[in-house]
A and B are shown apart, each in its own frame.
Chain A
Amino acid sequence: MALLLKTHFKLAKTAIKENRTRSFLTCLGIAIGVASIILILSLMGSISNLVKNEISEIGSDLIVVRPSSTKDSVTSIVEELTSSNTFQKSNLSLNDVSTISKLEDVAAVAPISISVNTVDSEKNNFTSVPILGTNEDFVKIEPVAFKFGSFINKNTGEKTVVLGSTLSLALFNTINSTVGKTVTIMGEKFMIIGVLDEIDKSINFDNIDFDNALIMDIESLDKLTGSTQIQQINIKANNTDSLSKVSTEIKDALIESKHGDENFTVSYGDDITHPASSLFTVVSGMLTAVATISLVVGGIGVMNIMLVSVAERNHEIGVRKAVGASSRNILMQFLFEALILSILGGIFGLVLGYILAFLISIITPFAPHISAEIVLITLATTFCVGIIFGIYPAIKAATKNPIESLKHYR
């Protein structure tokens, strides 16, 4: 049997070599489908890696409270994405922040509130600058390095802000310290007391690009805009061993203060990454669907070529059967050919996908994320494609009547 498999393999190889152009084009169909899937998987992997790395940097004592959608489904995510409000409608309030900070096991609580506004310096003005409203605990939870100055705290007063490095550069056209200068937001002047070091992590669990952001006290932001939405509350626990206990405590306290409304989620560890990539989940889900369609089209290409091959080699099938090939032998011969075509396409697509992912990594922060898992999934997928689209032509070949086939002499 093993000998026969080897023979089938060799036969398939010869057949593929004989029709080089045809085989290459068929492989290309599969390769394009596979490459797009690889690209998407690689991007998804690198995104969740970015967030995971950040969390492991911050430490294992991080707990995050986020408002939860009433329906936690794809449709709700899509609704959020398509609504004019880019940021989630929140039902968390400053009240909740103080509720949590009263708990024993909590070391620091920082609300994260992001809004977008125009920021004006004397030299430049920028619309759509993300403004992060938080409190002094923020730096206790997330270690941020400062290029100049320091973070906001109770003593620095209301009208103080911290700039991201890129924003600072863009507003004042200088890489030198901008501490002490003022910016105008909605007609009010704010003094800059600190500039962050370059962070270069546009994707993180706070959903904010710190390099381009402006940070101010949440109460100042509240006064400025009139209504503040808290997207997230970051909590540092006292004790890393009992994260689950602390998170339960937080949950209970919040439910109590909110009179039984459980419209939020408390997460820690790897769970924190999930909402951050919810946007990517939807986008990549759609892209994967498109990629799958192209893979199916590629598979149909394989089937088409195999059908042509079966028709062309009708006579050969008849001869083989007459000299002792069983239907199964013929089936295997053609199935092998389809399998080799699609697996070749898969390998080709794997390489192509990674080259594309690498090219993308040059212009974006997404490092190509290549795991054995992805390679295995791809090969398994192409194997399945080969079987699914190869079985029908193979069966067609195997069930041919040898007498009829022998009559079709070329």
Chain B
Amino acid sequence: MGENTIIELKGLTKRYGYGDTESFALKDFDLTIKRGEFIMIMGPSGCGKTTLLNIVGLLDRATKGEYILNGENVASISARRQAKLRAKKIGFIFQNFNLIEDLPILENVALPLVYTGYSKTARLKNASNALKRFHLQEREYYFPYQLSGGQQQRVAIARAIVSDPEIILADEPTGNLDSRASHIVMEELKAIHEEGNTIIMVTHNPALTVYATRVINMLDGHIDTDVKTVADANLPQPISVKIKKRKKPEIEIETPKSEERKKTKKRKKSRRKK
């Protein structure tokens, strides 16, 4: 396994039902994903794209086969740590946005940080910065139903990147959007990818494949075609980018947790003095 491999799937099988009703969403699926890849998965309905994404996103378990995430076999990771990994390393973007209707969008974006031990101020500050990036900062206290579909999807993307994950999983993120909103969303994803994030995206729209570095066509639970448009060596790498980001204090999302905590403490102290 190469050093740069982030996800390795070996003989992954997902079976639904038993006996006569038995059907396979994935069958002996093998896939190796390198850091910095932008993968588009295409294929007809029911070919196992969403199942694949759910398994990669640790929401589902394969019936058979190995899933190695960052050199670690997922089968040996406890459910609790899997949840932690979902919060820290994996960002989900859904077709129907899946925002919580009862929470303002700021708190929706801050949601993954709730489960990674940030204080409330730090959470909201990071979330606010993430929203700023998508030009939604002035609508922080709007509720999801008050936003358009494109805006809601941008909120969802902000939520996916707020905890600075390594892998972003997008399940037809543009499926519910018009072409203009789709374009904006894709540009955002592209920007995120260029920062060195690995993106796996499921789509039905062949026009979007221009953004990808690798296009996989699935058929009946296995890979039909697998085309790389960018050489592995040319993939954007996160490490260098991250170091650069740390030097730029204005991008708060990237600030390590400890520093962030110190900052909030200092802020609290200064308030007390006043």
Interface residues in chain A, defined as those with a beta carbon under 8 Å from any beta carbon in chain B: 3-4, 6-7, 10, 14, 18, 315-316, 318-329, 402-403, 406, 409-410
Interface size on B, residues (CB 8 A): 33
CA distance A315 to B80 in the complex (A): 20
Residues of A within 8 A of B79 (CB): 326-327
Residues of B within 8 A of A403 (CB): 54, 59-60
Residues of B within 8 A of A325 (CB): 83, 87, 114-115
Residue from B54, B92, B118, B120 in contact with A323 in the complex, judged by beta carbons closer than 8 Å: B92
Residue from B92, B96, B114, B163 in contact with A322 in the complex, judged by beta carbons closer than 8 Å: B92
Give the contact stretch, choosing among B27-35, B99-107, B221-229.
B99-107
Minimum C-beta distance from A403 to chain B (A): 6
Q: Are A3 and B119 in contact (CB under 8 A)?
A: yes
Residues of B within 8 A of A14 (CB): 102
Q: Are B117 and A323 in contact (CB under 8 A)?
A: no
Q: Which of B57, B83, B118, B159 has the most CB of A within 10 A?
A: B83
Known A-B contacts A402-B59, A409-B98; the reply to A326 vs B84 at CB < 8 A is yes
Minimum C-beta distance from A203 to chain B (A): 55
Residues of A within 8 A of B217 (CB): none
CA distance A323 to B107 in the complex (A): 13
Can you list 14 residue pairs at the A/B interface with Cβ under 8 Å?
A4-B115, A6-B120, A7-B120, A10-B120, A18-B102, A315-B100, A316-B102, A319-B98, A319-B99, A321-B86, A324-B85, A324-B88, A324-B115, A326-B82
Of residues 98 to 145 in B, which have CB atoms within 8 Å of A's CB atoms? 98-102, 111-112, 114-120
Mask of B60-96 contacts with A, CB within 8 angstroms, 1/0: 1000000000000000000110111111101010101
| Pairs A-B, 7 closest by C-beta atoms | A324-B87, A326-B83, A324-B115, A324-B86, A323-B112, A326-B80, A322-B92
CA distance A409 to B94 in the complex (A): 12
Residues of B within 8 A of A316 (CB): 100, 102
CA distance A316 to B144 in the complex (A): 13
Residues of A within 8 A of B87 (CB): 323-325
Known A-B contacts A3-B119, A403-B60; the reply to A324 vs B98 at CB < 8 A is no
Minimum C-beta distance from A402 to chain B (A): 5
Residues of B within 8 A of A324 (CB): 83-88, 90, 112, 115-116, 163
Residues of B within 8 A of A326 (CB): 79-80, 82-84, 115
Residues of B within 8 A of A318 (CB): 98
Minimum C-beta distance from A375 to chain B (A): 32
Known A-B contacts A18-B102, A316-B100, A409-B98; the reply to A323 vs B80 at CB < 8 A is no
CA distance A402 to B88 in the complex (A): 18
Residues of A within 8 A of B54 (CB): 403
CA distance A315 to B118 in the complex (A): 24
Q: Are A323 and B102 in contact (CB under 8 A)?
A: no
Residues of B within 8 A of A410 (CB): 101
Known A-B contacts A316-B102, A322-B59; the reply to A7 vs B114 at CB < 8 A is yes
Known A-B contacts A4-B117, A7-B120, A406-B94; the reply to A320 vs B111 at CB < 8 A is yes
CA distance A410 to B97 in the complex (A): 12
Known A-B contacts A328-B80, A329-B83, A402-B59; the reply to A323 vs B115 at CB < 8 A is yes
CA distance A326 to B102 in the complex (A): 20
Residues of A within 8 A of B92 (CB): 322-323
Other 17 A-B pairs with CB < 8 A, given A323-B111, A327-B83? A3-B119, A10-B120, A316-B100, A318-B98, A319-B98, A320-B115, A321-B83, A322-B57, A323-B112, A323-B159, A324-B84, A324-B85, A324-B116, A325-B114, A329-B115, A406-B98, A410-B101
Mask of B238-250 contacts with A, CB within 8 angstroms, 1/0: 0000000000000
Minimum C-beta distance from A1 to chain B (A): 8
Minimum C-beta distance from A53 to chain B (A): 52
Residues of A within 8 A of B57 (CB): 322
Minimum C-beta distance from B169 to chain A (A): 10
Residue from A18, A321, A327 in contact with B59 in the complex, judged by beta carbons closer than 8 Å: A321
Of residues 189 to 216 in B, which have CB atoms within 8 Å of A's CB atoms? none
Nearest CB in chain B to that of A324: its residue = B87
Nearest CB in chain A to that of B169: its residue = A322
Nearest CB in chain B to that of A326: its residue = B83
Q: Are B60 and A322 in contact (CB under 8 A)?
A: no
CA distance A321 to B59 in the complex (A): 8
Nearest CB in chain B to that of A320: its residue = B111
Minimum C-beta distance from B265 to chain A (A): 13
CA distance A7 to B103 in the complex (A): 14
Nearest CB in chain B to that of A319: its residue = B98
CA distance A322 to B86 in the complex (A): 7
CA distance A3 to B257 in the complex (A): 14
Residues of B within 8 A of A409 (CB): 96, 98
Residues of A within 8 A of B119 (CB): 3
Residues of B within 8 A of A3 (CB): 117-119
Of residues 13 to 70 in B, which have CB atoms within 8 Å of A's CB atoms? 54, 57, 59-60
CA distance A91 to B84 in the complex (A): 76
CA distance A410 to B145 in the complex (A): 12
Q: Which of B88, B102, B115 has the most CB of A within 10 A?
A: B115
Nearest CB in chain A to that of B50: its residue = A403
Nearest CB in chain A to that of B163: its residue = A324
CA distance A10 to B119 in the complex (A): 13
Q: Are B96 and A319 in contact (CB under 8 A)?
A: no
Minimum C-beta distance from B261 to chain A (A): 10
Residues of A within 8 A of B159 (CB): 323
Nearest CB in chain A to that of B119: its residue = A3
Q: Which of A18, A324, A326 has the most CB of B within 10 A?
A: A324
CA distance A410 to B82 in the complex (A): 27
Residues of B within 8 A of A323 (CB): 86-87, 92, 111-112, 115, 159
Nearest CB in chain A to that of B116: its residue = A324
CA distance A376 to B103 in the complex (A): 36
Minimum C-beta distance from B156 to chain A (A): 10
